[in-house]
Amino acid sequence: MSLIQLKRSTAAMAGDSTAAVERVWALALARAAQEELGIALSLGDCRLQRRTLGELGELLPEPALIAALDEGAGEATGVLVVDAGLMAGMVEALTTGTVTALDRAGRRPTRTDAALLAPVLDRALAGFEAAAAEADLTEWARGFRFAATVDGGRALSLMLEDVEFRVLLGEVDLAGGARKGRLILAVPDGLGGGMAEVRPPVDTRFAEALAERVAGAEVRLDAVLMRLSMPLGAVMALRVGQEVALPLADIGQIGLEGLDGRRVGAGRLGRQGTARAVRLAGEAEERPQQTAVAVLSAGRM
């Protein structure tokens, strides 16, 4: 095949792909309108273009319902725009079951409008995704759904990444011509399912070595029978051989504390062979600090 023939073949394939995208999107919109609104909708003069974020902002009708779309990750990456006249007709069909030919293009969209139309838009997007996947249009089958409304083109430019977008523009005819208006779908270019980001394998050797060192580190635990508060004068008067009474101590309630004083466990005082030991009793429960007056008497500690 010559270079000229190859270029012609590539152009023909691109043209077929564009026509398929436009056809699939038009069908998805028509089905969503019929199933959710119960009215006929047709998309005409549909065109697939590539636009920068700045150019996309210039295409937005005013006023319009601007719906930010995400791919399930919680971050807006695309947008679906419905001009105000078309939006009003869709809301009217949803609430009254009919569409009048009254001109309501001047009414600004509200959050109530967005909430009412979100299921309709999601139905259209879901149908588009399924049909695009079947037609091997992987760059469109990406799970876009309604995420939030955007107040104007400036807010949209701050929300979306400054990348090139695939843009589907079309003129919608609602209920046999009762309402007409522009509808725009824009998604980032070059991030389709067949072009997923390839990440290098993660080197876990450092993390494993660090975990091994940490696991081998020694940790000091103090076994605390009780804590005792005494007047400073009594403490200064302590002498070797004196006995300090611990009236609130309980060998069945030994606390285990870390170096920071936090109680991390509890147990019972006992023996293991010839050494003193603490038998763990489960999770520690914080007990209120007990304050006792030391009883000092002659004798041995």
Whether the pLDDT of residue 195 is over 80: the answer is no
Say which residues have a Cβ less than 8 Å from residue 21's Cβ, sequence separation at least 6.
48, 132, 137, 140, 168
Three-class HEC string of 217-258 = CCCCCEEECCCCCCCHHHHHCCCCCCEECCCCCCCCCEEEEC
Q: What average pLDDT does the segment 135-150 reach?
A: 85
DSSP secondary structure string, 172-226? EEETTTTEEEEEEEEEETT-SGGGPPP-PPP--HHHHHHHHHHHHS----EEES-
Q: Lowest mean pLDDT of 29-38, 63-72, 193-202, 227-236, name the range.
A: 193-202
Q: Which of 54-58, 61-65, 266-270 has the lowest mean pLDDT?
A: 266-270
The CA distance from 188 to 159, in Å, is 13
User: What backbone torsions phi and psi does residue 39 show, to the nearest 5 degrees?
Assistant: -130, 165
Q: How far apart are CA 41 and CA 172, in angstroms?
A: 7
Q: What is the pLDDT of residues 115-133, one digit of tens each?
A: 999 999 999 999 999 999 8
Classify residue 273 by its DSSP letter: T
pLDDT at 279 over 70: yes
Q: Residue 288 — pLDDT band, cuts 50, 70, 90?
A: very low
Sequence ranges of the chain with CATH classification 2.30.330.10? 220-297
Closest by CA position to 29, among listed 39, 19, 20: 39
Specify whether the CB–CB gap between 128 and 20 falls below 8 A.
Answer: no
Structure pTM? 0.58
Q: How far is CA 247 from each of CA 31, 230, 242, 295, rounded to the nearest angstrom?
A: 82, 13, 16, 9
Task: Give me the DSSP letters along 59-103.
Answer: H--SSEEEEEEE-SSSSEEEEEEEEHHHHHHHHHHHHHS------
Domain 10-190 has CATH 2.60.40.650: no
Angle in degrees, CA 104, 59, 94, rounded to 5: 35
- One-letter amino acid identity for 55? E
CATH class of 220-297: mainly beta
Percent of the chain with pLDDT over 90: 31
pLDDT in tens, 76-118: 689 999 999 999 999 989 888 888 876 655 678 998 999 999 9
* Tally of CB atoms within 10 A around 35: 13
Could you give phi then psi for residue 287, rounded to 5 degrees?
-110, 145
Q: Enumerate the CATH 3.40.1550.10 domain ranges in the chain, comma separated.
A: 10-190
| CA distances from residue 290 to 146, 160, 236 in whole angstroms, order as listed | 59, 60, 21
Task: Say which DSSP state 135 is in.
Answer: T
| Burial letters 229-261, b for 16+ CB under 10 A, else e | ebeeeeeeeeeeeeeeeeeebeeebbbbbeeee
